[in-house]
Structure 1
Amino acid sequence: MTQAISSARKWILAQVEEEKGQSGARVTPKHPSRLHAIRCNTDAAWRKETKAAGLGWVFTNDRSEPLGSGFDTREAVRSALTAEALAMLQAIKTAREIGHSHLSVASDSQQLIKAINRGDSSKELHGILHDILDFLLSFSAISFLYVPREANVMADRLAKKALVNFGQGPV
């Protein structure tokens, strides 16, 4: 599975568009451009005692203006890292459903972003990472980046709100 994830990541990075110009061919990577990409911040809140997770995500445009948001809950979540991956998966599904084609996905989980960008898979994330990679083909361009916790406040609030609404009390 690790090899499949690594191969899928390499394929995505290898996708290029050739644009003919006066000076010949120019190669442009298929990463979201700053002007056209929708930014999607994701986060999760997890309760070790109950194994419940709150998931949150926020869509913004290139001027950081809100375009939408969402939150959800999951039960029987094994770890905080698994919760982070589930939040990202749900956000990507939502982005596809509402028609976004250029997406920049941000998370404050360095471990998750490294796992996606390097194709490193663990038993813990195996199935979820596979599902995330399956969705990559649904987008014209997609990238994953780490952001500090301070830059992820809105998604964090939504994740915590989801847990509270699920009857898990304040986080």
Structure 2
Amino acid sequence: MGSNEDIEAAVSRREFISQAGRVAVVVAGTGVVVGGVRVAIPNAAPGASRHVLLGNVGDFRVGTVTWLRDLELFVLRSSEGIGVFSSRCTHLGCTVRRTDAGFQCPCHGASFDPQGRVVTGPARSPLPWYRVSVAPDGSLWADREDVVSTGSLAEEAEVQL
């Protein structure tokens, strides 16, 4: 057998390994809990209010898709009308990026066409579109709790407020 110093060193090593194992379990458990909570929470922006002012209709040019970063929304304006849809992937809520072919989720690779329909998974649902309202003064509003059909465009002449 060794000296007392050897025994103390062995105990310290054992204690270190035990503590390291506990830390690893806590870190892994935290990741599982955070991931589970993220899946359970709806894909609305944190602290998002139901009715959001997007700007004035004139702020969005025909033939463009504008990303409103703070609202986590895209505004699509075409010659047929104007529509608003989420910029958060329906898989786990990561912010999608524009590509030549539509939109791509940088987290897990889901891709969406220019209307937000799923092209490749893991996302199974399209990017949600929201009801758009144009006020008499030309201000554009979206209702985050009123999901409409993918690709639904409101005619600019519509006044729904």
Determine which structure has the larger helix proportion and give its number.
Answer: 1
Question: With structure 1 as the length reference, what TM-score do the two structures score?
Answer: 0.28
Question: With structure 2 as the length reference, what TM-score do the two structures score?
Answer: 0.29
Q: Which has the higher contact order (CA 8 A, sep 6+)?
A: 1
Bigger Cα Rg: 2
